[in-house]
Structure 1
């Protein structure tokens, strides 16, 4: 059985097993607890490999190693966790991390708050759970911006991904290369009809669509745009960060072009110049095509912000560095440029 890293280094291991059997395994680095991680950030700790009569070598691609050292928690502000189990058995249970703005727990306070839902929740606020132990610093950034009066106080809900289910849940079509993909409609139904009602019951939210956003990076950016277009009455503020426009031969561009006109969505789109191109993606060019498609469909320029970050890579650190700009655009302080009626006045 061979293991290949993202840098094309090859590692091999041999083991004798009976034919026509399944065996679980995990890849670790020198027995020190560093577990392999995939290209989408998923933990590769529960892989299954089919042993056939042909006994052909199996190939597993690893993108990174998860460090064994557990850093101290890095949470800032009032943070709560929940476990949620979707009704549909095709979606696994997952964890939520909820950041509450300063003043939320003030005795007697009855104020209600807008909500931003974000994918890949484990990467957002705590290095202990984040990919490669690098978090987005969403909690620190939001805390500072709210206290400085630069953004509207907002509840942020991080939805953990579920390892090997991340790619299927964050894509809206199956492809020849990824036949198990295309569960975004299922995932979106869970967000709209189960998770959001749960959050609206558990917290003092402003549940109307004008106050509700959805954001993510990479495939998380793609699914944010797809679900925003599907549910424009539920999510009206979209953070489309480093989106995987390349998915399924840029299918998302055709869906934008097929719209009858602009939707009432405020959309942030961005890309870094060092996010890498490969056979399916031309990252900066793809993001520019998406921006242009939205403008051609009639979106006002004030409602689509497109930014290219020189030298920025496809990493949690890069997304952390620009999250403040994303949040200020989607949830400006009262009196800011947001035209939607969000202030409650």
Structure 2
């Protein structure tokens, strides 16, 4: 019955103070269908970086959103979940989404980009997650906690998945830009004991790279992105991650855009939620 997809999902908006800037950050919470009715039911949670781009195209940086609301409505086989969109900090986005300063970039002397990722990760795990778990009926354990992001949001997802492996069980890594800090990332992942119970979905397109990227590197953008995702996948396998806990999609003709990521979001949600 085609009318089944027409229902309303309730969304709540909160402003939480970021400790290291002392400024409020918008956090939006999309509740599953019938959340208010099923008072005894608790739900897994998916945390999303770049929250502005997740829900509505009119708000999105690119004019396209991840279309998570239609993804949930049109794919009733995907288990119900609470979706938390954490806004980025615009001018500080590059800093917050990278734990390490950028090295592979011809940026002007004196400009330091990247390196605030630890602070941001700490904000998510010690302010946002406890707030969500105390205000909503969540399943707060690792197995029912997922995180997703694209580009630099993919970088911070990769990092947090390693740093907080005991709390985040599922990762959606789209078009990771880990090439920006490749040596630091490789060093970091090689020193971590990987968690074989995690589920990790990785997607990259063959037509990646945008204008900002071209300012940050002299290399072949398309290949740089593919290599970044392949390298991550291989590092996970080398670290003894079971292959069936990983899904890698190299998508022909997919670009570095919300449009492309939205296309693969249902696949990602399906894979990450397989044990919910």
TM-score bucket (shorter structure): 0.7 to 0.9
The question of 1:214 aligning with 2:153 is answered no
User: Which digits, 9 at most, give the CA deviation of each residue in 1:36-76, with x for residues without a partner?
Assistant: xxxxxxxxxxxxxxxxxxxxxxxxxxxxxxxxxxxxxxx95
- Equivalent residue, structure 2, for 1:133: 63
Greater Rg over alpha carbons, structure:
1
The question of 1:112 aligning with 2:42 is answered yes
- Pick 1 or 2: higher relative contact order, CA cutoff 8 A, min separation 6: 2
User: Which sections of structure 2, spanning at least 5 residues, go unmatched?
Assistant: 1-6
Distance 1:166 1:206 in 2: 29
Q: Pick the aligned partner of 1:175 from 91, 102, 123.
A: 102
Distance 2:34 2:135 in 1: 17
Matched residue count: 255
Tell me, yes or no, if the aligned pair for 1:275 and 1:312 is still in contact at 8 Å.
yes
**Cα offset for 1:89?**
3.5
Distance 2:225 2:22 in 1: 29
The question of 1:193 aligning with 2:120 is answered no
**Cα offset for 1:263?**
4.6
**Cα offset for 1:81?**
1.3
- Equivalent residue, structure 2, for 1:17: none
Residues 297, 142 of structure 1: alpha-carbon distance in 2 compared, 3 angstrom cutoff? same
Q: Which has the higher strand share?
A: 1
- Equivalent residue, structure 2, for 1:78: 10
User: Which digits, 9 at most, give the CA deviation of each residue in 1:174-212, with x for residues without a partner?
Assistant: 236452421111011111111111111111101111110
**Cα offset for 1:260?**
3.6
**Cα offset for 1:144?**
2.4
Q: Which has the higher helix share?
A: 2
- Equivalent residue, structure 1, for 2:29: 98
The question of 1:229 aligning with 2:171 is answered no
Q: What TM-score, normalized by structure 1, do the two folds share?
A: 0.70
Q: Pick the aligned partner of 2:218 from 266, 279, 286.
A: 279
Tell me, yes or no, if the aligned pair for 1:232 and 1:264 is still in contact at 8 Å.
no
**Cα offset for 1:102?**
1.1
Tell me, yes or no, if the aligned pair for 1:224 and 1:239 is still in contact at 8 Å.
yes
- Report the aligned-residue RMSD: 1.9
Q: Pick the aligned partner of 1:144 from 74, 85, 102.
A: 74
Tell me, yes or no, if the aligned pair for 1:273 and 1:309 is still in contact at 8 Å.
yes
User: Which sections of structure 1, spanning at least 5 residues, go unmatched?
Assistant: 1-74, 333-337
Q: What TM-score, normalized by structure 2, do the two folds share?
A: 0.87
**Cα offset for 1:271?**
0.4
Tell me, yes or no, if the aligned pair for 2:194 and 2:236 is still in contact at 8 Å.
no
